[in-house]
Amino acid sequence: MLLGFVLVIYDNKCNMYKKLELNECDKYKDTYTINRIDPTIKIKTKRAFSSTYDNLTIVTEQVKSFCTNEGYEGLEFIELPNSPGFYWFKIHNIIEFDAEAYGTRFINYNKQCEGYEEIIGATPACLKVKEEIRDGFFRTDISFGSFATKAPLEIIGPMTKEKLKASGFTGIDYNEIYDKYDWQK
């Protein structure tokens, strides 16, 4: 059964952390835990959705308005001071990822920094909940990737996908999420 979709967002050729001072423990954290932006970053894309090389999702004023008009809750739009009309799109609605079902690997835990260097094995997305995802934006409880660029999967339900497609937003594709995959049978 189709549950929803993972957003696949194209890069905008920018690196949020390039000019930021990251400390030694930041490589064991994810984008949400680091929770900082480069106030000088200049986004030049025309896409409604884009991603920095370090996996921060950036959206336009049009996406922000769309989300407000739809009444979507649990979203935060962090203004980028040097890029008027662009925002870091943060999702606070959490869906549990089933790391055991997929065999996700947690690599090099650092006790002092309380995090992993890498978390590998995000796709296809295996969720603990096995029902259709409701209208809105969600993210996984686990962030995937390496070092300071770890980020959660961003997830929507079928109704949200139809609304996004109807709105003509650019810069996104959609990977299907199922309750069970062929390799699990």
Band of residue 184 on the pLDDT scale cut at 50, 70, 90 = confident
Band of residue 185 on the pLDDT scale cut at 50, 70, 90 = low
Asked if the model's pLDDT at residue 79 lies above 90, the reply is: yes
Question: Beta strand 86-91 with 75-79: parallel, antiparallel or unpaired?
Answer: antiparallel
For the chain, give the mean pLDDT.
96
Residue 181: predicted pLDDT: 86
Asked if the model's pLDDT at residue 72 lies above 90, the reply is: yes
- Here the tokens at position 136 are 């809105």
Whole-angstrom distance, CA of residue 148 vs CA of residue 47? 25
* 92 and 74 Cβ atoms separated by less than 8 Å: yes
Q: 30-55 pLDDT, tens per residue? A: 999 999 999 999 999 999 999 999 99
Share of the chain above pLDDT 90, in %: 95
Is the C-alpha dihedral spanning 56, 38, 59, 141 positive or negative? positive
Residues 6+ apart with CB under 8 A from 127: 3, 95, 96, 97, 98, 140, 155, 177
| Span 154-181, average pLDDT | 96
Whole-angstrom distance, CA of residue 167 vs CA of residue 158? 14
Asked if the model's pLDDT at residue 114 lies above 90, the reply is: yes
Asked if the model's pLDDT at residue 67 lies above 90, the reply is: yes
Residue 178: predicted pLDDT: 95
